[in-house]
Amino acid sequence: MTSPQNVFFEMPCLIEKSQSLSGFLLSKKWFKGADRRYLAESLQKFVEYNKELFDFLEVTPRIEGSGKSASLNFRSDRFIGAIPLRAPDTGKQIGDFVVRPRYTSANDQFSEYVEIVNLLESEILPEFKNSIPLLSHRNLRPPIYLEAIKFVKLLEKAVKAKWNKFQNTERIHRYPKSEVNWKRYVEKESDPAKRLLFPCRDNTLSTFHSEFFELKYVYSISKKEINSFKTPRHIKYQFQDTLTYLDNALYEFPEKFTNELYIHNSDSVVIKKLKVQGNKILTGNFEEITAWRIDFSLLFERYVQFIFKQISLEIGAKQLNNYKIRQFSRFNPPWALNYLEPDVILVKNNLDIVVDAKYKSHLFNLKSSTEELKEEHRRDLHQLLAYTAFSKNKNKVGILCYPSNEQFLLELDYVFPHSNVESKVVLLGIPLKKSELFGLRESIIDFISGIEKERLVGVV
């Protein structure tokens, strides 16, 4: 549990405006040496002092009011994470600023995130920045059990692939075979019964080798982390069969302590990935935790692609992910785009569907009408319409995906009166919750089926 005295402020990601922090109260608790007659100046100095780390977490501090009524609020974007902060008056470390996932559970704020990552089987890794250590230390670190789960899944693949290495072992033969240990032979050569017994060093392929012993040591650390009280119960249950399989497969293997798993050029791709992941666990147990972040926009994009992959298989459509629409010209200004890249394109018979995922807060602000929200949506809409313009098919739909707390689907029809050309755009709200996946998928399939029926009626 995070200690409150070590946390300066905590907020969810994708918030346009957090609750306001009174400059007067901040000066009493955090900036005790600041001149209370000039609170706005102290807040401005605080923002400038910590600007680099706020930028790293993509948090925008805003100062409102003046004098003793000055206050501070924040806008968060696509990252979750934690950064250490310094006071504007002394420069000393005062506490940590935390951006948590928007989707939290009572047991663990990362559980929904872990569920989605395991579903995608994708690498969405934390990024770290050199800074002073977090005051909350390990309480605010990214979930270690997520790294342990990744290691266990890779180890299962390695065990099933039967990773063999040459072992140089000494065996007794009745003839000189390979390299003979003549020193040992001479010691017993005087015994006629042993004169024709030659101690030789044989190279044999075996899974029973020292590098696997080191992997079992890391496995023990990972297993302990997965089964710890910090890991949500439903996450533990998901991996009990895998842990039982590995316990049985590695039963006879001893553990060998190591600080690092060495990666060789001869290692297979799976083994290299396994060792890289193992080293993260080995170093993660001892490293100080500095500023870190996780990009939820990348997670959201891949989740959208995963959903539409399932849909494309069910409706018999061809799917293109991150398909590059390139531009060709003799001269390109330095600011020109070399290509456009929609997240998903579905092609089925005479219907083209272009999907673009935007990890933004619009569907959390359905009753808000700020200029910033309008401008962001205008850019998103123009980008989606640009993607659909490259389809020759008259039947085309653009789907603009935003995260939301619950399923949301709204059709927006744009018609140009002079040509009577229509563009259909769908606002699709996608909850980042595994439990909502089946219902969401069925709703999208029903919508696409409805569009196809409309087109067929129009043709008739």
User: Can you say how many angstroms the Cα of residue 225 is from the centroid of all Cα atoms in its chain?
Assistant: 19
* Contact status, residue 212 vs residue 163, Cβ threshold 8 Å: yes
**Tokens 């293997």 sit on residue:** 253
**Beta-carbon neighbour count of residue 232 at 10 Å?**
20
* Contact status, residue 102 vs residue 14, Cβ threshold 8 Å: yes
Looking at 260, 284, 308, the residue that finishes a domain is 284
Which residues, listed in sequence order, are joined to residue 415 by a DSSP beta bridge? 422
Strands (E), 175-252: 179-180, 198-206
Q: Is 60 a residue whose pLDDT tops 90?
A: yes
264 and 189 within one domain: yes
274 and 153 within one domain: yes
308 and 272 within one domain: no
CATH of the domain at 350: 3.40.1350
Q: Which two tokens stand for residue 193?
A: 């019964």
163 and 73 within one domain: no
411, 328, 419, 344: which is closest to 384 by C-alpha? 344
Q: Where are the alpha helices (DSSP H) in 227-370?
A: 233-238, 240-249, 269-284, 296-315
386 and 265 within one domain: no
Q: Is residue 245 part of a domain?
A: yes
**Beta-carbon neighbour count of residue 437 at 10 Å?**
19
Q: Are strands 165-173 and 127-129 parallel, antiparallel or unpaired?
A: unpaired
Q: How far apart are CA 460 and CA 458, in angstroms?
A: 6
Average pLDDT over residues 311-339: 77
Count of domains forming the chain? 3
259, 282, 2: which is closest to 141 by C-alpha? 2
Per-residue pLDDT reduced to its tens digit, 114-173? 778 777 766 566 788 888 888 876 555 666 777 888 899 899 998 888 877 766 667 787
Per-residue pLDDT reduced to its tens digit, 158-196? 888 887 776 666 778 767 776 777 888 877 877 777 778
Determine the structural domain holding residue 361 and report its residue range.
Answer: 296-459
* Contact status, residue 76 vs residue 58, Cβ threshold 8 Å: yes
Q: Is residue 114 part of a domain?
A: no
Per-residue pLDDT reduced to its tens digit, 203-227? 767 777 788 889 999 999 999 988 8
* Contact status, residue 318 vs residue 349, Cβ threshold 8 Å: no
On the CB side of 4, CA atoms within 13 Å amount to: 1
What is the per-residue pLDDT for 143?
66
Q: Is 308 a residue whose pLDDT tops 90?
A: yes
pTM for the whole thing? 0.69
Average pLDDT over residues 276-283: 86
347 and 388 within one domain: yes
Q: Is residue 117 part of a domain?
A: no
67 and 46 within one domain: yes
338 and 449 within one domain: yes
175, 193, 179, 261: which is closest to 221 by C-alpha? 261
Q: Where are the alpha helices (DSSP H) in 90-200?
A: 111-120, 144-160, 182-188
Contacts of residue 27, Cβ cutoff 8 Å, sequence gap at least 6:
34, 36, 39, 42
453 and 412 within one domain: yes
Per-residue pLDDT reduced to its tens digit, 371-413? 888 998 999 999 888 888 877 777 788 999 999 988 999 988 8
149, 141, 159: which is closest to 122 by C-alpha? 149
